[in-house]
Chains A and B, each alone.
Chain A
Amino acid sequence: MEKKAVIIVGGGPAGLAAAVELYNKGIRDILILEREKHLGGILRQCIHDGFGLTRFKTTLSGPEYAQRFIDEVLEKGIPFLTDTTVLDVSEDKVVTAASRKGLIRFQAQSVILTMGCRERTRGALGIPGERPAGVFTAGVAQAYMNLYNRMPAKEVVILGSGDIGMIMARRLTLEGAHVQAVFEIQPIPSGLPRNIEQCLNDYHIPLYLSHTITEIHGGSRLTGVTVAQVDEHFQPIPGTEKDYTCDTLILSVGLLPENELSIDAGVQLDNRTRGAVVDEHFQTNVEGIFAAGNVLHVHDLVDFVSMEAEALADSAAAYVTNGPLPECPVQVIADGNIGHTIPQKISGQKDVRLSMRVKRLIKDCRVVVRQNGEEIAAKRMKKALPAEMIQILVKADKMTSTGDLEVSIEC
């Protein structure tokens, strides 16, 4: 079986950034495995601009952002295989993949999981009603329009105020469809404020908070949906039902890390993120298997995906060169206001950037990190939104390697 120092599963933004950084750290024996015809992952269909402000200090479209990394991969001659689907990653890091050229197997020293995420579906939400054509997740509608040149909609209702849903509201409107409204079950939007402004408000598309779809109608193509207001327990309030006639329902109701390969490899997942439990090296519980990007936790911005993958690559390079990485005995624990933190485990001996999301809108607060009762890092937030990922740097000289890190929100 052919050996590889590092196999990267997925050539999207995380995989590309990891590959380039590994190269920069002197690792040459790399192979990126990408199931699509081209590198770039989901960015290829995200043709709107707004990417790269943090990473490149300029605003780019998704394809351009991806191309910056692809160009580096090409320039450096980093090996990659496209049209190649990984079928299995084993605990001992044997990677099996299929392509038209045949079934290939590699023994990897290290495997980097950068498979990204998938969209939550209608079935996963359990939306009641019939199952006609015309119910699409936002990403599917986006792929039809931006990659396949196919128009999936005329009269549209959108459920969920995720960023892709709002971006598709604008995209559909620009191409002649009529978007009647966006309904969000939560009392606050799940996407970024700028997208509400430039994708909905600009086009006079109303956003109804605390509303959900209670029934889908149509035996063939969608004929309409019933919408109702919900109470604080997200239960529809009787008497508030309203019918909307439409041929298309777009769902933008959340993203889920795609960890089927990780599970096969024996990687332990975190129930909150549905991604791997990782330490500060972005290493999973399986030595030599690393994860970053949306497969680890769903990010708000691709810039942070790239940066996380670059941090991962630094550790993976050290692992490949020097062997096992330092132990990470310190657990990172979050209070009830915080959904999760990444990483979940640290050494206490190295600067670490904690990523997290709040569970609800909190105004005028501080994100505080404590160890053994002492405040060791804090960040003041005017407004903490679930839609935004919060990052906070904790310096090594403030930490010890005993005692959990406790992250909390204080008002």
Chain B
Amino acid sequence: MISTIQQPIDKSHRVDSWITQIHNSLVPITCTSEFFSFNFTALVSMQQYELYDMPADAISSVVFSPTNPDLLLVSSWDKSVRLYDVHNTSPLKTSYTHKAPVLDCCFSDGAHAFSGGLDKRLKTFDFNTGNDTILGAHDEAIKCVEYSKENNLIVTGSWDKTIRLWDIRSKDADSGGTYTQPGKVFAIDVMNHKLVVAMAGRHVFIYDVRNMKDAIQKRESSLKYMTRCVKCMPNGEGYASSSIEGRVSVEFFDPSPKSQARKYAFKCHRKVIDGVDTVYPVNALAFHPTHGTFASGGADGVVNIWDGFNKKRLRQYPSYPSSVASLSFSCDGRMLAVASSYTFEEGEKDHPPDSVFIRPLSENECKPKQVGSS
């Protein structure tokens, strides 16, 4: 009786150990093969590289096309807006110029670019025909240009303390309307129908693009100092903003206390120099289109990838030669464009050359880490 009991035990043991033996022998083989193939592709395609044919002056903005992950629009202080094909060996595809330095640019669809700058004019450029047209003008320099896909509108923010909307279908320049703000507009972003406007004086207004008469919410920036950048989350729930004092805040649109309790701010882009925590401006933010994580770029030349859900830093890339002026993820999330260009935070000085780096991203590089199911 006992032996009959023992036998099965023995058998099962043997079977078990046999299975584990199989596993022990099989698993490493499959692993190594995967490992090799992965590494191989990594070596071939994962190298960061610098774009050629850069503008002659500082870079103000880089934006990837919303349709073609290879096309990158770069606006510069040398008055030009350039379109690059980042995978081409001679990347510069086309360019057009303003009469003054260009401060921001954006795509509407894959074939049109919009840009504005110190010449106070909003220009559009048709990549197919190569024609540039002036749509209209602000009273002061245009600081930011964004496109609202849902409403087919261009939104511009200017130092003349106004937001203007431009209906790109109609020729009438005043089609969208002008909306006065309490301060000079420093940064805007549009997601779904929400428009976030960050201004001087730490004002942050949230509008519904469809009804611009009154702001939905009028907030004061959560950060103590001047806002540098505002970017909306891809899911439209909120936005992140960065300031000149090495902080990034993540806030939510939903005014309910429960939602508001989720907001937070954190420190970043700092260096300890001689025992003093040196705080760098955070010039650029960009949300990953699919994962919802975001990248921040500072005047220290460092780019960090943050997981805003789990409040984790996912990556820190080796620092770039100069301040990070602008960041953009390609529409498929496979590439990150980093504009390393002096942002004048210290006034005129000698600085490394302005350049744009393209950093291919592996599948999970910007993916939020799964936290235990609970």
Pair from one complex: no
